[in-house]
Amino acid sequence: MKQKVVDEVRAFSRFYTEVIGLLDRYILNSPFSLPEARIMYELYHRNGVQAGEITTLLGLDKGYLSRMLDQFTRKGLITRRRSAEDGRAQHIFLTQKGKEAFEQMNKASDGQVKEILRQVPDEEGDRLVHHMNEIKKIMTNYGNNHLPR
């Protein structure tokens, strides 16, 4: 790969992480870090998931995930239930409190993006989405193996 392409991708990555505040300790003025928010996203959008699925999906260290899940349990954000099919497996679910925390964060995220795009004309927004989809397509086809297909 040409160094210019590498430099530009890295510059865009720095730009975008700054725009959406990914380097902040907590995301969207919530009590959650980015990895915690991503875990909550996955739990919210799946009906019971095993810890191993989350580590694979997000590329997280098992010990790191375990510590975060223990914190979520202590805070009453998740519950774990034994699998009916395999008693050794546990499925993780957001509690009502966890769902409400995620929904609040999700609403804040929508608001953040709306504010970022507030002055962007509709046709430019459509163009932006088109190019973002092109980036996803290229990165999915040729990018890192852990990207969703």
- Is 139 a domain residue? no
| pTM of this structure | 0.84
**Domain count across the chain:** 1
- Is 134 a domain residue? no
94 versus 82: which is more confidently predicted?
Answer: 94
Considering the chain, what is the average pLDDT of its residues?
A: 91
8 Å CB contact between 50 and 89: yes
How many Å apart are CA 91 and CA 69, to the nearest integer? Answer: 12
pLDDT tens track for 124-139: 999 999 999 999 999 8
- The CATH number of the domain where 61 resides is what? 1.10.10.10
- Is 128 a domain residue? no
- Is 96 a domain residue? yes
The pLDDT assigned to 147 comes to: 56
8 Å CB contact between 27 and 105: yes
- Is 143 a domain residue? no
Residue 79's SS3 state is strand
- Is 60 a domain residue? yes
CB burial class (10 A; 0-12, 13-18, 19+) of residue 95?
A: middle
- Is 124 a domain residue? no
pLDDT tens track for 28-61: 889 999 999 999 999 999 989 999 999 999 999 9
| 110, pLDDT greater than 70 | yes
- Is 146 a domain residue? no
How many Å apart are CA 39 and CA 65, to the nearest integer? Answer: 9
Domain range enclosing 71? 3-118
